[in-house]
Amino acid sequence: MQAGARSLFGGALSAHEQCGEQSVAPAIVARMTSWGDFERAEPEFAHRVRGLFDAHKHKTIATLRADGSPRISGIEAVFDESELSFGSMPNARKGNDLRRDPRFALHSATVDPVDGAEAQWPGEAKISGKAIAAGPSTGPDGDTFYADIAEVVHTHLDDKATRVVIEWWTPAHGLRAVERE
């Protein structure tokens, strides 16, 4: 991308945001979706999701093993300026997984609704996408990855605690919601 490039939401792109992934056609560069892009698109929804992730230090990440089977690992994630980042200790399996196949799903910590106060349950949040390595390989401090966000989900109960509400956002379709009994 050229210097001074603008995001879909009108802001200037950072050097990190301009990195994009090369597609099959060399002249076409796909632009990654940062946490900042999502925040600008849906600020109130982003605030609720971030609150769920920030409420607890430890999260859970799903990655794919070399044989394609899922791996679940504990992880810490950081919202820093307009980026969501997470790391892996040196030579950890989750870091190797993400370098081989960058697809991930990150889940906030979960807590059970309190009996009799179910309507106050904050719910749970999930973010999925591709992990973009911040550097060329594992260093002495391990790996750092930035999230290229494909989907953000918040699952919670309605005000009467009688229905499950699933809200989700994607860069292509924006914010949508469905309620289930």
Q: For the chain, give every domain's residue range.
A: 32-180
Query: First-to-last CA distance in the chain?
Result: 47
φ/ψ of residue 43, rounded to 5: -60, -40
For residue 22, the model assigns a pLDDT of 35
* E strand segments, 40-93: 59-64, 70-75, 77-80, 83-88
For residue 139, the model assigns a pLDDT of 64
Amino acid at 102: P
Each residue's pLDDT, cut to its tens digit, for the chain (181 residues) gives: 333 333 333 334 443 344 443 333 344 456 799 999 999 999 999 999 999 999 999 999 999 999 999 999 999 999 988 999 999 998 899 999 999 999 999 999 989 989 999 999 999 999 999 999 987 665 677 899 999 999 999 999 999 999 999 999 999 999 999 999 9
Q: Which CATH superfamily is domain 32-180 in?
A: Electron Transport, Fmn-binding Protein; Chain A (2.30.110.10)
- List the beta bridge partners of residue 177: 167
For residue 118, the model assigns a pLDDT of 92
Separation CA 151–CA 93 (nearest Å): 24
Separation CA 88–CA 96 (nearest Å): 9
Separation CA 101–CA 83 (nearest Å): 20
The pTM (predicted TM-score) of the whole model is 0.81
CA distances for 161 relative to 51, 84, 167, angstroms: 20, 31, 16
